[in-house]
Chain A
Amino acid sequence: QSVLTQPPSVSGAPGRRVIISCTGSSSNIGAAYDVHWYQHLPGTAPKLLIYGNTNRPSGVPDRFSGSKSGTSASLAITGLQAEDEADYYCQSYDSSLNVSVFGGGTKLTVL
């Protein structure tokens, strides 16, 4: 059971918008620790999508955006494309466990 909770799957049609949630607690996201997001295709290296809640690394399209409020964070993907089909993970830090923690991952299907 992951410390951060994500929906197992989301889906959307090409061109539409989807949101992936990441719910934590008062010892991680709620304690003002940053949330980061990764895109992962099985068999490849996970790719950093969003860091520090809202920031995109160079090369990541602005179709990807992150937000955070209270004990939760969200990743929004607009203008869905077939190439966006992947697993997405959130990550933060937990002060009671003293480790970086991850969500269980969300599989995005582009219909």
Chain B
Amino acid sequence: QVQLQESGPGLVKPSQTLSLTCSVSGGSISSGDDYWSWIRQHPGKGLEWIGYIYYSGSTYYNPSLRSRTIITVDTSKNQFSLKLRSVTVADTAVYYCASGRGAGDWFDPWGQGTLVTVSS
């Protein structure tokens, strides 16, 4: 059974870069069936899809965040990562990693999420 776990700093200063890693266990990130996504939830709000990466390295980002987002994959470590540049307090959220099968498909499983606070 595939499990995902997010890791990274819980506090980031404004204008800096938010960096998170998702470790995949119980399966290979290179299996070829899955697209590996990042999703976030602002405090008290709904969910926002950030983007995904395929094991080959191809990516697709939410147009609203595209200019600041980079998602990378490290198949040797069975991990994928998120970098969000020039953060503001509006980027404070719980960040989840999740596995999906492509645009419009469902996400399963998810990580338990990690809270990132942007504050000076």
Using a CB–CB distance below 8 Å, which chain A residues touch chain B?
A: 2, 33-34, 36, 38, 43-48, 51-52, 57, 89, 91-93, 97-105
- Excluding A2-B45, A45-B111, A89-B47, 4 further A-B contacts by CB distance (< 8 Å) are A45-B110, A51-B108, A93-B104, A98-B63
Q: A2-B46, A102-B46, A102-B47 are in contact. Are A91 and B107 (CB under 8 A)?
A: yes
Interface size on B, residues (CB 8 A): 22
B98: chain A residues within 8 A (beta carbon): 46
Using a CB–CB distance below 8 Å, which chain B residues touch chain A?
A: 4, 45-49, 62-63, 96, 98, 100, 103-113
Return B41 CB to nearest CB of chain A, in Å: 9
A33: chain B residues within 8 A (beta carbon): 104
Within 8 Å by CB of B46, from A36, A45, A105, lies: A105
The CA-CA distance from A105 to B110 in the complex, in Å, is: 17
B113: chain A residues within 8 A (beta carbon): 43, 45
The CA-CA distance from A45 to B96 in the complex, in Å, is: 8
A43: chain B residues within 8 A (beta carbon): 112-113
B111: chain A residues within 8 A (beta carbon): 45
A2: chain B residues within 8 A (beta carbon): 45-46
Q: Which of B100, B103, B106 has the most CB of A within 10 A?
A: B106
